Amino acid sequence: SKASSGPPPPPPETVKKIGVVGAGQMGAGIAQVAAGVAKLPVLLHDANKAQIDKAFKFIDVLLQKDVLKGKITSEEKDETLGRITKSDIADFKDVDFAIEAISENSALKRELLGVLEKALPDTAILASNTSSISITRLAAATKRPEKVIGMHFMNPVPVMKLVEIIPGLATSPQTLQTTLALSHSMGKTTTQSSDMPGFIANRVLMPYINEAIYVLQEGIAIKEDIDTTMKLGTNVPMGPLTLADFIGLDTCLAILKVLHTQLGDDKYRPSPLLVKYVDAGWLGKKTGRGFYTYE
Ligand code: CAA
Protein backbone atom coordinates (compact mmCIF):
# COMPACT_ATOMS: atom_id res chain seq x y z
CA SER A 1 0.00 0.00 0.00
CA LYS A 2 1.06 3.58 -0.59
CA ALA A 3 1.55 6.33 1.90
CA SER A 4 -0.54 9.30 0.89
CA SER A 5 -1.12 12.77 2.22
CA GLY A 6 -4.30 13.97 0.46
CA PRO A 7 -7.91 13.51 1.46
CA PRO A 8 -8.94 10.21 3.03
CA PRO A 9 -10.02 7.58 0.48
CA PRO A 10 -13.78 7.20 -0.12
CA PRO A 11 -15.42 4.21 1.59
CA PRO A 12 -15.73 1.11 -0.61
CA GLU A 13 -19.06 0.24 -2.19
CA THR A 14 -20.53 -3.10 -1.11
CA VAL A 15 -20.32 -5.66 -3.88
CA LYS A 16 -23.40 -7.92 -4.02
CA LYS A 17 -22.94 -9.98 -7.16
CA ILE A 18 -19.89 -10.94 -9.19
CA GLY A 19 -19.73 -11.76 -12.88
CA VAL A 20 -16.72 -13.73 -14.10
CA VAL A 21 -16.01 -14.02 -17.82
CA GLY A 22 -13.63 -16.73 -18.94
CA ALA A 23 -13.86 -20.11 -17.24
CA GLY A 24 -10.29 -21.26 -17.74
CA GLN A 25 -7.97 -21.97 -14.83
CA MET A 26 -7.87 -18.35 -13.72
CA GLY A 27 -11.59 -17.65 -14.11
CA ALA A 28 -12.55 -20.89 -12.36
CA GLY A 29 -10.22 -20.05 -9.47
CA ILE A 30 -11.61 -16.52 -9.20
CA ALA A 31 -15.20 -17.86 -9.19
CA GLN A 32 -14.23 -20.40 -6.53
CA VAL A 33 -12.78 -17.85 -4.09
CA ALA A 34 -15.51 -15.27 -4.76
CA ALA A 35 -18.17 -17.91 -3.95
CA GLY A 36 -16.28 -19.85 -1.28
CA VAL A 37 -14.37 -17.17 0.63
CA ALA A 38 -16.22 -13.90 -0.05
CA LYS A 39 -19.47 -15.94 -0.12
CA LEU A 40 -20.88 -13.87 -2.99
CA PRO A 41 -23.18 -15.09 -5.74
CA VAL A 42 -21.15 -15.54 -8.92
CA LEU A 43 -22.34 -15.67 -12.52
CA LEU A 44 -19.78 -17.53 -14.61
CA HIS A 45 -19.63 -17.12 -18.37
CA ASP A 46 -17.47 -18.50 -21.14
CA ALA A 47 -18.04 -18.20 -24.88
CA ASN A 48 -17.31 -21.93 -24.99
CA LYS A 49 -20.11 -23.56 -22.97
CA ALA A 50 -18.21 -26.83 -22.53
CA GLN A 51 -15.48 -24.84 -20.78
CA ILE A 52 -17.93 -23.81 -18.03
CA ASP A 53 -18.81 -27.46 -17.37
CA LYS A 54 -15.10 -28.22 -17.17
CA ALA A 55 -14.68 -25.35 -14.70
CA PHE A 56 -17.46 -26.69 -12.47
CA LYS A 57 -15.81 -30.13 -12.44
CA PHE A 58 -12.43 -28.56 -11.68
CA ILE A 59 -13.86 -26.54 -8.77
CA ASP A 60 -15.74 -29.60 -7.50
CA VAL A 61 -12.54 -31.65 -7.42
CA LEU A 62 -10.62 -28.92 -5.57
CA LEU A 63 -13.41 -28.40 -3.03
CA GLN A 64 -13.70 -32.15 -2.51
CA LYS A 65 -9.97 -32.21 -1.66
CA ASP A 66 -10.63 -29.50 0.93
CA VAL A 67 -13.48 -31.60 2.37
CA LEU A 68 -11.23 -34.66 2.63
CA LYS A 69 -8.56 -32.55 4.34
CA GLY A 70 -11.18 -31.32 6.82
CA LYS A 71 -10.70 -27.69 5.72
CA ILE A 72 -14.38 -27.29 4.82
CA THR A 73 -17.51 -29.38 5.42
CA SER A 74 -19.38 -31.03 2.57
CA GLU A 75 -22.26 -28.60 3.27
CA GLU A 76 -19.87 -25.68 2.74
CA LYS A 77 -18.70 -27.29 -0.49
CA ASP A 78 -22.29 -27.55 -1.73
CA GLU A 79 -23.02 -23.96 -0.67
CA THR A 80 -19.98 -22.71 -2.58
CA LEU A 81 -20.94 -24.61 -5.73
CA GLY A 82 -24.55 -23.44 -5.29
CA ARG A 83 -23.42 -19.80 -5.36
CA ILE A 84 -21.91 -20.20 -8.85
CA THR A 85 -24.30 -20.06 -11.82
CA LYS A 86 -23.54 -20.79 -15.45
CA SER A 87 -24.66 -17.64 -17.28
CA ASP A 88 -24.81 -15.59 -20.42
CA ILE A 89 -23.51 -12.03 -20.32
CA ALA A 90 -27.11 -10.92 -20.96
CA ASP A 91 -27.88 -12.29 -17.45
CA PHE A 92 -25.33 -9.91 -15.89
CA LYS A 93 -28.03 -7.21 -15.36
CA ASP A 94 -27.57 -6.94 -11.61
CA VAL A 95 -23.87 -7.74 -11.48
CA ASP A 96 -22.07 -4.87 -9.76
CA PHE A 97 -18.54 -6.16 -10.24
CA ALA A 98 -17.30 -8.06 -13.32
CA ILE A 99 -13.90 -9.72 -13.60
CA GLU A 100 -12.69 -10.78 -17.01
CA ALA A 101 -10.19 -13.61 -17.29
CA ILE A 102 -10.34 -14.42 -21.00
CA SER A 103 -7.28 -15.08 -23.14
CA GLU A 104 -4.53 -12.49 -23.14
CA ASN A 105 -5.57 -10.66 -26.32
CA SER A 106 -6.00 -6.91 -26.28
CA ALA A 107 -8.58 -6.73 -29.11
CA LEU A 108 -10.72 -9.50 -27.56
CA LYS A 109 -10.57 -7.92 -24.12
CA ARG A 110 -11.48 -4.47 -25.45
CA GLU A 111 -14.41 -5.95 -27.36
CA LEU A 112 -15.57 -7.87 -24.27
CA LEU A 113 -15.43 -4.75 -22.10
CA GLY A 114 -17.71 -3.02 -24.61
CA VAL A 115 -20.19 -5.90 -24.35
CA LEU A 116 -20.01 -5.94 -20.54
CA GLU A 117 -20.52 -2.21 -20.38
CA LYS A 118 -23.84 -2.58 -22.22
CA ALA A 119 -25.02 -5.51 -20.09
CA LEU A 120 -24.10 -4.22 -16.62
CA PRO A 121 -25.54 -1.27 -14.68
CA ASP A 122 -23.76 2.08 -15.19
CA THR A 123 -22.41 1.87 -11.67
CA ALA A 124 -20.71 -1.52 -12.14
CA ILE A 125 -16.94 -1.94 -11.99
CA LEU A 126 -15.13 -3.79 -14.78
CA ALA A 127 -11.94 -5.51 -13.63
CA SER A 128 -9.40 -7.25 -15.83
CA ASN A 129 -7.12 -10.09 -14.78
CA THR A 130 -4.64 -9.17 -17.50
CA SER A 131 -0.97 -9.79 -16.74
CA SER A 132 0.48 -7.68 -19.52
CA ILE A 133 -2.03 -5.43 -21.25
CA SER A 134 -2.29 -1.76 -20.31
CA ILE A 135 -5.30 -1.12 -18.06
CA THR A 136 -5.44 2.46 -19.34
CA ARG A 137 -5.76 1.16 -22.89
CA LEU A 138 -8.49 -1.35 -21.94
CA ALA A 139 -10.33 1.34 -19.98
CA ALA A 140 -10.26 3.68 -22.98
CA ALA A 141 -12.34 1.13 -24.91
CA THR A 142 -15.25 1.89 -22.55
CA LYS A 143 -17.31 4.93 -21.65
CA ARG A 144 -16.52 4.38 -17.97
CA PRO A 145 -12.70 4.40 -17.72
CA GLU A 146 -13.01 5.55 -14.09
CA LYS A 147 -14.64 2.18 -13.32
CA VAL A 148 -12.05 -0.04 -15.03
CA ILE A 149 -9.21 -1.54 -13.01
CA GLY A 150 -6.60 -4.29 -13.12
CA MET A 151 -7.01 -7.18 -10.70
CA HIS A 152 -4.12 -9.53 -11.34
CA PHE A 153 -4.59 -12.87 -9.58
CA MET A 154 -1.78 -15.41 -9.41
CA ASN A 155 -2.06 -19.05 -10.47
CA PRO A 156 -3.32 -21.23 -8.76
CA VAL A 157 -5.84 -18.65 -7.56
CA PRO A 158 -7.21 -20.60 -4.55
CA VAL A 159 -3.67 -21.08 -3.18
CA MET A 160 -1.84 -17.86 -3.97
CA LYS A 161 -2.45 -15.10 -1.45
CA LEU A 162 -1.69 -12.14 -3.71
CA VAL A 163 -3.77 -9.93 -5.95
CA GLU A 164 -1.93 -7.10 -7.69
CA ILE A 165 -4.22 -4.11 -8.11
CA ILE A 166 -3.56 -1.79 -11.03
CA PRO A 167 -5.50 1.45 -11.38
CA GLY A 168 -5.38 2.85 -14.91
CA LEU A 169 -4.74 6.51 -15.57
CA ALA A 170 -8.46 7.36 -15.24
CA THR A 171 -9.46 4.88 -12.50
CA SER A 172 -11.29 6.60 -9.64
CA PRO A 173 -10.29 6.34 -5.95
CA GLN A 174 -13.77 4.89 -5.31
CA THR A 175 -13.19 2.06 -7.81
CA LEU A 176 -9.82 1.36 -6.22
CA GLN A 177 -11.26 1.21 -2.69
CA THR A 178 -14.09 -1.11 -3.74
CA THR A 179 -11.64 -3.41 -5.53
CA LEU A 180 -9.29 -3.51 -2.54
CA ALA A 181 -12.18 -4.35 -0.20
CA LEU A 182 -13.47 -7.07 -2.51
CA SER A 183 -10.00 -8.61 -2.81
CA HIS A 184 -9.65 -8.66 0.96
CA SER A 185 -13.07 -10.29 1.34
CA MET A 186 -11.76 -12.99 -1.04
CA GLY A 187 -9.01 -13.65 1.49
CA LYS A 188 -6.26 -12.02 -0.58
CA THR A 189 -3.45 -9.65 0.29
CA THR A 190 -3.22 -6.77 -2.16
CA THR A 191 -0.39 -4.74 -3.58
CA GLN A 192 -0.77 -1.73 -5.81
CA SER A 193 1.12 -1.03 -9.00
CA SER A 194 1.09 1.77 -11.53
CA ASP A 195 -0.10 0.80 -14.98
CA MET A 196 3.33 0.09 -16.49
CA PRO A 197 4.40 -3.01 -18.46
CA GLY A 198 4.49 -6.17 -16.31
CA PHE A 199 3.21 -4.28 -13.26
CA ILE A 200 5.28 -5.55 -10.27
CA ALA A 201 5.06 -9.34 -10.44
CA ASN A 202 5.96 -9.95 -14.06
CA ARG A 203 8.40 -7.02 -14.27
CA VAL A 204 10.50 -8.86 -11.67
CA LEU A 205 9.59 -12.50 -12.38
CA MET A 206 10.00 -12.64 -16.17
CA PRO A 207 13.59 -11.28 -16.34
CA TYR A 208 14.43 -13.81 -13.59
CA ILE A 209 12.90 -16.70 -15.57
CA ASN A 210 14.51 -15.40 -18.79
CA GLU A 211 17.93 -15.25 -17.11
CA ALA A 212 17.53 -18.85 -15.93
CA ILE A 213 16.83 -19.85 -19.55
CA TYR A 214 19.97 -17.95 -20.69
CA VAL A 215 21.97 -19.88 -18.07
CA LEU A 216 20.63 -23.09 -19.61
CA GLN A 217 21.18 -21.84 -23.18
CA GLU A 218 24.78 -20.90 -22.45
CA GLY A 219 25.46 -24.35 -20.99
CA ILE A 220 26.43 -22.93 -17.64
CA ALA A 221 24.42 -25.58 -15.81
CA ILE A 222 21.94 -28.38 -16.41
CA LYS A 223 18.26 -27.57 -15.89
CA GLU A 224 17.96 -29.57 -12.68
CA ASP A 225 20.86 -27.69 -11.10
CA ILE A 226 19.47 -24.31 -12.12
CA ASP A 227 16.15 -25.18 -10.48
CA THR A 228 17.65 -26.79 -7.39
CA THR A 229 19.98 -23.83 -6.87
CA MET A 230 17.13 -21.35 -6.87
CA LYS A 231 14.65 -23.59 -5.05
CA LEU A 232 16.91 -24.52 -2.16
CA GLY A 233 19.09 -21.44 -2.41
CA THR A 234 16.31 -18.89 -2.23
CA ASN A 235 13.48 -20.91 -0.66
CA VAL A 236 10.96 -20.66 -3.50
CA PRO A 237 8.47 -23.53 -4.06
CA MET A 238 9.60 -24.13 -7.65
CA GLY A 239 12.83 -23.38 -9.51
CA PRO A 240 12.55 -20.89 -12.41
CA LEU A 241 12.43 -23.45 -15.25
CA THR A 242 9.78 -25.54 -13.48
CA LEU A 243 7.86 -22.34 -12.82
CA ALA A 244 8.16 -21.31 -16.49
CA ASP A 245 6.70 -24.70 -17.51
CA PHE A 246 3.93 -24.19 -14.94
CA ILE A 247 3.05 -20.69 -16.24
CA GLY A 248 3.36 -21.75 -19.91
CA LEU A 249 6.35 -20.91 -22.09
CA ASP A 250 4.12 -19.11 -24.60
CA THR A 251 2.81 -16.89 -21.81
CA CYS A 252 6.34 -16.18 -20.56
CA LEU A 253 7.45 -15.29 -24.10
CA ALA A 254 4.43 -13.05 -24.69
CA ILE A 255 5.05 -11.12 -21.46
CA LEU A 256 8.78 -10.77 -22.18
CA LYS A 257 7.97 -9.40 -25.63
CA VAL A 258 5.72 -6.77 -24.02
CA LEU A 259 8.49 -5.79 -21.59
CA HIS A 260 11.11 -5.74 -24.35
CA THR A 261 9.02 -3.73 -26.82
CA GLN A 262 7.48 -1.29 -24.41
CA LEU A 263 10.39 -0.66 -22.07
CA GLY A 264 12.89 -0.84 -24.91
CA ASP A 265 15.81 -2.22 -22.95
CA ASP A 266 17.64 -5.31 -24.19
CA LYS A 267 17.77 -6.66 -20.67
CA TYR A 268 14.23 -7.91 -21.43
CA ARG A 269 15.19 -9.61 -24.72
CA PRO A 270 13.57 -13.10 -24.72
CA SER A 271 16.13 -15.88 -24.75
CA PRO A 272 16.41 -17.50 -28.21
CA LEU A 273 16.12 -20.86 -26.45
CA LEU A 274 12.72 -19.83 -25.07
CA VAL A 275 11.63 -18.78 -28.57
CA LYS A 276 12.78 -22.16 -29.90
CA TYR A 277 10.74 -24.10 -27.32
CA VAL A 278 7.64 -22.08 -28.16
CA ASP A 279 8.26 -22.62 -31.90
CA ALA A 280 8.41 -26.36 -31.21
CA GLY A 281 5.07 -26.24 -29.40
CA TRP A 282 6.79 -27.29 -26.19
CA LEU A 283 4.79 -24.91 -24.03
CA GLY A 284 5.31 -26.53 -20.64
CA LYS A 285 3.03 -28.48 -18.36
CA LYS A 286 -0.11 -27.87 -20.42
CA THR A 287 1.31 -29.57 -23.52
CA GLY A 288 3.10 -32.31 -21.58
CA ARG A 289 6.52 -30.98 -22.54
CA GLY A 290 8.56 -27.89 -21.84
CA PHE A 291 11.92 -27.85 -20.11
CA TYR A 292 10.66 -31.03 -18.44
CA THR A 293 8.26 -33.73 -19.59
CA TYR A 294 4.94 -34.39 -17.86
CA GLU A 295 2.70 -37.42 -18.17
N1 CAA B 1 -5.63 -25.24 -7.58
C2 CAA B 1 -5.95 -25.24 -6.28
N3 CAA B 1 -5.16 -25.72 -5.32
C4 CAA B 1 -3.99 -26.28 -5.68
C5 CAA B 1 -3.59 -26.33 -7.02
C6 CAA B 1 -4.48 -25.80 -8.00
N7 CAA B 1 -4.19 -25.79 -9.32
N8 CAA B 1 -2.37 -26.91 -7.07
C9 CAA B 1 -2.02 -27.21 -5.82
N10 CAA B 1 -3.00 -26.80 -4.96
C11 CAA B 1 -2.98 -26.90 -3.51
C12 CAA B 1 -2.93 -28.31 -3.02
O13 CAA B 1 -4.22 -28.87 -2.92
C14 CAA B 1 -2.25 -28.17 -1.68
O15 CAA B 1 -3.19 -27.74 -0.71
P16 CAA B 1 -3.00 -28.07 0.88
O17 CAA B 1 -1.87 -27.22 1.34
O18 CAA B 1 -4.32 -27.68 1.45
O19 CAA B 1 -2.70 -29.53 0.96
C20 CAA B 1 -1.28 -27.01 -1.89
O21 CAA B 1 -1.77 -26.29 -3.02
C22 CAA B 1 0.11 -27.49 -2.14
O23 CAA B 1 0.06 -28.35 -3.26
P24 CAA B 1 0.92 -29.68 -3.43
O25 CAA B 1 1.31 -30.21 -2.09
O26 CAA B 1 0.21 -30.59 -4.39
O27 CAA B 1 2.17 -29.22 -4.26
P28 CAA B 1 3.21 -28.10 -3.94
O29 CAA B 1 3.50 -28.01 -2.49
O30 CAA B 1 4.28 -28.35 -4.91
O31 CAA B 1 2.45 -26.76 -4.33
C32 CAA B 1 2.05 -25.03 -5.84
C33 CAA B 1 2.00 -26.52 -5.62
C34 CAA B 1 1.03 -24.33 -4.93
C35 CAA B 1 1.69 -24.78 -7.30
C36 CAA B 1 3.49 -24.51 -5.49
O37 CAA B 1 4.45 -25.28 -6.16
C38 CAA B 1 3.71 -23.06 -5.80
O39 CAA B 1 3.30 -22.20 -5.05
N40 CAA B 1 4.40 -22.78 -6.93
C41 CAA B 1 4.67 -21.43 -7.38
C42 CAA B 1 3.42 -20.87 -8.00
C43 CAA B 1 3.63 -19.49 -8.50
O44 CAA B 1 4.67 -18.88 -8.41
N45 CAA B 1 2.56 -18.95 -9.07
C46 CAA B 1 2.60 -17.65 -9.67
C47 CAA B 1 2.93 -17.79 -11.11
S48 CAA B 1 3.03 -16.23 -11.89
C49 CAA B 1 1.44 -15.79 -12.18
O50 CAA B 1 0.50 -16.49 -11.93
C51 CAA B 1 1.26 -14.45 -12.79
C52 CAA B 1 1.45 -14.32 -14.22
O53 CAA B 1 0.91 -13.35 -14.73
C54 CAA B 1 2.27 -15.19 -15.06
pLDDT in tens, 107-122: 999 999 999 999 999 9
Atom 21 of ligand 1 has which residue's CA nearest to it?
A: 159
Rounded CA-CA distance 113/137 in Å is 11
- Encode pLDDT of 148-162 as tens digits: 999 999 999 999 999
Query: Please, what is the Cα angle at 151 between 178 and 211, to 5 degrees?
Result: 150
C-alpha distances in Å from residue 188, one per residue of 77, 174, 207, 221: 20, 19, 25, 37
- In this structure, are residues 174 and 13 in contact, taking their beta carbons and an 8 Å threshold? yes
Distance from the CA of 261 to the center of ligand 1, in angstroms? 31
- Encode pLDDT of 67-125 as tens digits: 999 999 999 999 999 999 999 999 999 999 999 999 999 999 999 999 999 999 999 99
- Contacts of residue 90, Cβ cutoff 8 Å, sequence gap at least 6: 119
- Encode pLDDT of 12-57 as tens digits: 999 999 999 999 999 999 999 999 999 999 999 999 999 999 999 9
Specify the 3-state DSSP secondary structure of 5.
coil
Rounded CA-CA distance 291/177 in Å is 41
Q: What is the pTM of this model?
A: 0.95
Residue positions in the annotated binding site?
Answer: 22-27, 46, 104, 109, 131, 155, 286
Which one from 131, 134, 183, 210 is the annotated catalytic residue? 131
